[in-house]
Amino acid sequence: MIDPTSAAASAGTRAIASALLKKSPARLAPRLGGREERRGVYARYSHAHADAASFAQALRMEKKFASTFMGQGRMRTLLAMTQERQTELLSAYLEVRLVANPGPLAAADDLMSATSNLMDTGPSFDEHAFGAALEKALEAHRAFTDRCREDLWYAPRWWQLYRVGWWSARWKWVRGK
């Protein structure tokens, strides 16, 4: 026979434990890693890269054509804008590191190093170095996009090419039976 006090204590303990577990910080945090969450994170990182690359190019052009007429206020504004771009790029990269699978993560690492190199070479007057850094960053961005498409299954897998034919042959065989 079960003691009623121990059964009540056990039920009370279970109720308190379940109430505490439901309100734990681990359960309140958003769960990332699903296909749609990864798509959003990849898109944010891609957008941050495009914004940083285009800003580096615009900053280079402004310095090339108007550096003699630039005042301290404009320099501070450009520095703040550069800091915003770098902060957004870094936060998007860290979010990719949180949710990405190994393939896109390796491509994101390459893209981050290429974009950092581009941002460092941006204000220089050396057109060849900037062009090479820009081309490397764009190639890394293409590789990142391709890896993300494979990860999100936007590009067909090798076995999906033959699947349609297999199913049509299977249904013909079933109908002919």
Q: What pLDDT, in 10s, does the model give residues 13-27?
A: 565 555 554 554 444
Cβ 86 vs Cβ 119: under 8 Å: yes
- Residue closest to 113 by CA, chosen among 78, 144, 146: 144
In the chain, where the domains are located: 29-154
- Residue closest to 141 by CA, chosen among 89, 83, 78: 89
**Segment 42-68 mean pLDDT:** 88
Sign of CA dihedral 7, 11, 14, 20: negative
CATH topology of domain 29-154: Four Helix Bundle (Hemerythrin (Met), subunit A) (1.20.120)
Structure token digits, residue 91? 């936060």
The Cα 118–Cα 52 span in angstroms is: 9
Structure token digits, residue 78? 């450009």
What is the residue type of 58? A
Please tell me the pTM assigned to this model.
Answer: 0.67
Is residue 158 very low, low, confident or very high in pLDDT (cuts 50, 70, 90)? low
